[in-house]
Amino acid sequence: MLVAYDGSGFAGFAPNPGVTTVGATLADTLERVLRQPTTITCAGRTDAGVHAWGQVVTFDTDFDPLDLAALQRSVNGMCAPKIVVRALEIAPDGFDARHSAVHRRYRYTVLNRPVPDPFLAATTWHLAAPLDLAGMRLGCDPFIGEHDFASFCRKAPDRSLVRTVHSAEWDDLGDGLLRFEIEATSFCQQMVRAIVGTLVEVGLGRKHAGEVAAILRARDRAVAGALAPPQGLSLWEVGYPDPQPSWALPPPPEFVEPPLGSP
């Protein structure tokens, strides 16, 4: 399943007793529709408040006959608009949403204007002070390649924090909207938000772009910037070896903000 969701109000993706999560909601819905216990696997366990446009989920079922279109309608009817199955198909033998993935791509959106926008508050980080975009772009360079990202990740005992980043860049979308995109083989917990938080400190003049490489080499979370808030982050795309799944749809058109007062 190719899944999109608004992470607001969810305590992350992974099922966690006592709180509402995207994964638990999705698994419970599938169990109700298929009338059998269902265990799901996702491509990336997003944190509380983080969104997704291109999350991928796999599960096993022996439900017969399995009408994919009806299953999609049923799940969306029970979960939308907070959680939506964009596409669904039978996966080949051995396919696993997490372990078959070869890359993940995240987007982080910053609204850099003096005045907040209520229409964008749920999906952006509002910063009123002007940001030095050129400096933030220079600060991206040290992340490319294979590195130990201990300075930018929550500690994970007995787990390697070495990751390979394929690309990292900032784009100016106009009208104060800045978008950071980063693609890597995989990410450790809170890695993207810590990177964005550090680069924003560069943009605010609190750090210099030339310091980013030293922060990365330090392997010390205390020397990097604070976490960027979760609402600006979205798991945008998950890549798999060729041939790509048939639901690997083109990205949606760029978001165009409605004018204030429009219906």
Q: 125-126 and 233-239 as β-strands: parallel, antiparallel, unpaired?
A: unpaired
Arch. (CATH architecture) of 105-239: 2-Layer Sandwich (3.30)
Q: What percent of the chain has pLDDT over 90?
A: 85
Contact in structure between 89 and 246 (CB atoms under 8 Å): yes
Determine the Cα–Cα distance for residues 9 and 70; give it in Å rounded to an integer: 27
Would you mind telling me the total number of residues written for the chain in this entry? 263
Asked if 2-87 and 105-239 have one fold, the answer is yes
Residue 110 is inside which H or E element, if any? strand 103-111
Contact in structure between 40 and 26 (CB atoms under 8 Å): yes
For the annotated catalytic residues, the residue numbers are 47
Domain ranges of the chain: 2-87, 105-239
Domain covering 2-87, topology: Alpha-Beta Plaits (3.30.70)
- Residue type at position 249: L
What's 164's DSSP letter? E
Query: Tens digits of per-residue pLDDT, 153-165?
Result: 988 777 899 999 9
Query: Tens digits of per-residue pLDDT, 9-63?
Result: 999 999 888 999 999 999 999 999 999 999 999 999 999 999 999 999 999 999 8
Taking alpha carbons only, the member of 207, 174, 186, 185 closest to residue 196 is 207
Residues 136, 141, 144, 148, CA torsion sign: negative
Structure tokens at 223: 């020397």
* pTM: predicted TM-score of the whole model, two decimal places: 0.91
In the predicted structure, residue 260 carries a pLDDT above the cut 50: no
